[in-house]
Amino acid sequence: MNDTAPRPQPRNPLHGLTLEAILTALVDTYGWRGLAKRVPLRCFINEPSIRSSLKFLRSTPWAREQVEALYLSTRHE
């Protein structure tokens, strides 16, 4: 049996989504200004880009949680 195989996560609504896909969807929905209003992070305010935002979010768990929470709330509107 392969112990390193990922286990299915049927109750995790973010399972299978990359952070890049989540961020891209939010930017498509709100734009950078709208996203910065909802999650006020410097990476969304000053010269925002997907690449720089991903770098910050991957190294900052609390910020990533806020972005993921916004994505989940957006899906249910």
Q: What is the pLDDT of residue 2?
A: 57
Residue 8 lies in a domain: no
Q: What is the pLDDT of residue 77?
A: 54
Q: What is the pLDDT of residue 7?
A: 62
Q: What is the pLDDT of residue 76?
A: 60
Residue 27 lies in a domain: yes
* Alpha-carbon separation of residue 46 from 14, 42, 54 (angstroms): 27, 6, 14
Single-letter amino acid code for the residue at 71: Y
Place of tokens 């609504």: 13
Domain count, the chain: 1
Q: What is the pLDDT of residue 6?
A: 60
**Average pLDDT of adjacent 10-residue blocks, the chain of 77 residues:** 60 81 95 96 94 96 94 79
Residue 67 domain boundaries:
19-75
* Alpha-carbon separation of residue 8 from 21, 27, 39, 61 (angstroms): 19, 28, 30, 22
The CATH number that applies at residue 54 is: 1.10.720.30
